[in-house]
Amino acid sequence: MKTYKINEVTFKEETFTNIQRVDADHMSTFIPLSEFNSDYQQFKIDIAKGAQLSDANNNVMTSEQANTFLATLP
């Protein structure tokens, strides 16, 4: 089962956010918050269907929290 995690990192004095998808085989894929990226499009579909999302501190978010986060995304 694939899960998702919000990543935040400071690079060149800017804080960037992306999504880390961990697949069933433990492969990690880092997904940009780009509306044209098909992995990002699938992330939003999966979360809306109830897939697990953790925040930047590795806390699993509730469905309500995840959907609230989704609403802030492009």
Partner 1 sequence: MSLQQITANDILNLPANTVSNTQLVAGSVENYLSSQNSFITYRNRIHNGEMAVNQRATANVTNTASILNSALYNSIDRWKTSFFNNSGSFNPTISWKQTTDHPIKGSNGSCLEIVAQTSATPSGNVDFFGVLQSIEAQHITDLFCGANSPNLTLSFWVKTNVTGTYSVQLRDQGTSPGPNGQYIIVSSYTVPTSGVWQKVVLNFPAPTYSAMPNSVNAGLGVGFYYASSETLANTPGINPYNNWASLSTWGFVANTQANLFSTAGNYFRLTDVQLESGSTATPFERRPYAVELQLCQRYYFQGQMNFTIAGSITTATNGQQYYFVPYNLPVSMRTTPSITPSGSNVLTGYTYNNQTLNLQWGYTPGPQEIVLKMDNPSGGNFSTPIYVSAEI
**31, 37 Cβ separation under 8 angstroms:** yes
Determine if 16 is a binding residue for partner 1 (CB under 8 A): yes
**Whose Cβ is closer to partner 1: residue 30's or residue 62's?**
30
**3, 51 Cβ separation under 8 angstroms:** yes
Determine if 63 is a binding residue for partner 1 (CB under 8 A): no
Backbone angles phi, psi at 33, to 5 degrees: -85, 65
Determine if 34 is a binding residue for partner 1 (CB under 8 A): yes
Contacts to partner 1 by CB under 8 A: 7, 9, 11, 16, 18, 20, 22, 26-32, 34, 36-40
